[in-house]
Amino acid sequence: MYSEDTSTAGMEAAKAYRSRLLEGMAYSVALKGYADTTVADIVREAGVSKRTFYECFATKKDCLIALYVAASHGGLKVLKSAIDPARDWKAQVEHAMGAYLGCLASNPALLRTLFIDILSLGPEGLQVRRQMNQEMADFVAQVVNAGHPHTPQDDALTATLAMAVIGGINELVLQAIENNRTADLQALTGPCSALVRAVLAAPR
């Protein structure tokens, strides 16, 4: 029993250290960008040792990927919490998109790192980006298909089309980042919602 408690305590401690390191990474990249962030910067902000960092992550790249996953899941959580089954699917999509884009706009410096720097990490970065986009696409398809009436001639929002929608939304966000208009991200709520409606209305 004692050894089990110790193991549990150790796991909780490791989880806490990992969380602090992700916060340290987020703070540092928001302050100076990913390229100029060092492991020393991360551990200083996290208040832990380099040894602890390397017990949690093999490289700075791994830490950024973990931060990307955590931030993506945070955005997905915002999307899910914004869903109100009492509304029709169009209102649900628009409300959820507004909440999601507002979440992204809340930290523009970190947003730039997560949307742009993740692409510079090579195959690992692309793989995790694709994975997170798939989770987002699956959720959007689930919401739309649960509330949108379908007939045999009226296909549901397929997985492929849902991914295309997410790709389009990401491109609009990237464009806003490049034009230094992250503060206006919520203005994309209408176009993003219209994209979903247009895809469903298109003959196929």
Label each residue of the chain as H, E or C: CHHHHHHHHHHHHHHHHHHHHHHHHHHHHHHHCCCCCCHHHHHHHHCCCHHHHHHHCCCHHHHHHHHHHHHHHHHHHHHHHCCCCCCCHHHHHHHHHHHHHHHHHCCHHHHHHHHHHHHHHCHHHHHHHHHHHHHHHHHHHHHHHHHCCCCCCCCCCCHHHHHHHHHHHHHHHHHHHHCCCHHHHHHHHHHHHHHHHHHHHCCC
pLDDT at 2: 34
Q: Where does residue 148 rank: exposed (0-12), middle (13-18), buried (19+ CB within 10 A)? A: middle
Integer Rg of the chain from CA: 20
Assigned token pair, 14 = 């490791």
pLDDT at 143: 81
For 161-195, the pLDDT digits (tens) are: 999 999 999 999 999 998 989 888 999 999 998 99
pLDDT at 148: 63
pTM of the model: 0.84
Of 24, 15, 13, nearest in space to 46 by CA: 24
- Average pLDDT of the residues of the chain: 86
pLDDT at 131 over 80: yes
For 26-37, the pLDDT digits (tens) are: 999 888 889 999
pLDDT at 96 over 50: yes
pLDDT at 117 over 60: yes
At residue 114 the predicted structure's pLDDT band, cuts being 50, 70 and 90, is confident
Assigned token pair, 189 = 């709520």
